[in-house]
Amino acid sequence: MTSTRKICVLTGSRAEYGLLRCIMESIKADSVLTLQIIATGMHLSPEFGLTYREIEKDGFRINHKVEMLLSSDTTLAMAKSTGIGLGGIAAALDDLSPDIVLVLGDRFEIFAGASAAYLLRIPIAHIHGGEVTEGAVDDALRHAISKLSQLHFTSTENYRKRVIQMGEQPDRVFCLGAPGIDAIEMLELMPREKLEKSIGFVLGERFLLVTFHPVTLGSNPSSEEMAELLAALTCLPKDVRILFTMPNADAGGRLLAQQIRKFVDDYPDRAAAFASLGHLRYLSAMKHCLAVVGNSSSSLIEAPSLGVGIVNIGDRQKGRIQAESVINCTPDRSEIAQAFARALSPEYQGAAAAVVNPYGKAGASKRIADVVANYPLADLQRKSFYDMSACSA
């Protein structure tokens, strides 16, 4: 009997799992692949919704749960958590002995896992490399993960060229699109009334979906930027409701969460906040909202496929490719208020509904699964630097 190829998916957060889920389904359905799962980071934290249960509810078996988050959100805690994660994930990988470790994105949990896999000489396949987010430490971590990886799945051709520019061999860099778009077509998104019942909050005819993460490389404290956003939200028309999803476990995230909770306490009829909506409810809320507000990558990558408005605040996503519908503004209450006014206008709403998503259409997940199923494993761990200047000479 021919043994199957073992693909270990590492996931550390609710958002990342939402992007990986369709890929995991494709791997699980492939007869030549065996899916392994390591859950870590925010998935195991009550503060962030114990979202590993969502993975299990979707019918997946988690092979290892690796605790790594310290009960603090300082930069020192992030560094220490990375070290704890490296050790724990290394032990899990040593037990599972996968043929390929599949990772997505740029967070410190994923950097820890990629470092462990690399030192164990297990090939790494990296999704969403080559992108730029100048306002977060994630930017450098993403590039570091790319250099540790042997296979690369980029979301656009520009990002593919950037990964090759970093010295990666072109035949190992695949532009296959953004897997997060697949869930929009795969999932049966909830009608507004069902969504309201599910979250216990009346969204009304008009609402904004707000996610604002710490700007970990910003010159101003993220709490000051959040204060500006909240001040602008108080000036919205009273019929506009606000649905918050809480920040990630980054340095400064807990203070932002406190600010959100106070806002919700002050405006209980207009606002609600959730540690995690789960991917189905999150995409359903995105479908029905007037605009996605904040500094999350999902607003730039997935929201255009649903034809909703986008208000991108500050520099956290600076450098990332954007749809024409994105409204950029500084974290200043007056500029944010102006962006809200534009986003709520009928003219803008009509234009947003017709925008073309630069991250393409659905299908990336199956294409990624096909590559990890068929790419030759022999000498995959060995890498040679691709010198673009020498090749063009």
From the list 293, 287, 374, the residue with the least C-alpha distance to 327 is 293
Domain chopping of the chain, boundaries: 5-179+363-392, 190-353
Angstrom distance (rounded) from CA 199 to CA 217 = 33
Indicate the CATH number of 190-353 among 3.40.50.2000, 3.40.50.1010, 3.40.50.720, 3.40.50.2300.
Answer: 3.40.50.2000
Cα 171 from Cα 157, distance rounded (Å): 14
Q: 5-179+363-392, what's its fold? A: Rossmann fold (3.40.50)
Q: Are strands 173-175 and 151-154 parallel, antiparallel or unpaired?
A: parallel
Q: Which of 16, 9, 296, 318 is CA-nearest to residue 139?
A: 318
Quick one: angle between helices 14-29 and 279-288, nearest 10? 110
Summarize pLDDT for 183-220 with one digit per residue, the tens. 898 889 999 999 999 999 999 999 999 999 988 776 78
What are the residues facing 239 on neighbouring strands?
Answer: none
Q: Are 131 and 142 in contact (CB under 8 A)?
A: yes
Low-confidence ranges of the chain (pLDDT < 50): 1, 393
Q: Is the pTM of this model over 0.85?
A: yes
Task: In whole angstroms, give the CA distance from residue 163 to residue 143.
Answer: 8
Residues 6+ apart with CB under 8 A from 174: 151, 152, 153, 154, 160, 367, 368, 371
Residue whose structure tokens are 């602008």: 232
Measured at the CA of 106, the angle between CA 105 and CA 109, to 5 degrees, comes to: 105
Q: What is the pLDDT of residue 230?
A: 97
Q: What is the pLDDT of residue 54?
A: 92
Count of all residues that appear for the chain in the document: 393
In sequence order, the 6+-apart residues with CB closer than 8 A to the CB of 87 are 116
**168 DSSP assignment:** -
Please report the pLDDT score of residue 251 as a whole number. 77
Encoded tokens for 269? 């009829």
Predicted local distance difference test score (pLDDT) of residue 1: 43
Establish whether domains 5-179+363-392 and 190-353 are of one fold: yes
CB 360 within 8 A of CB 177: yes
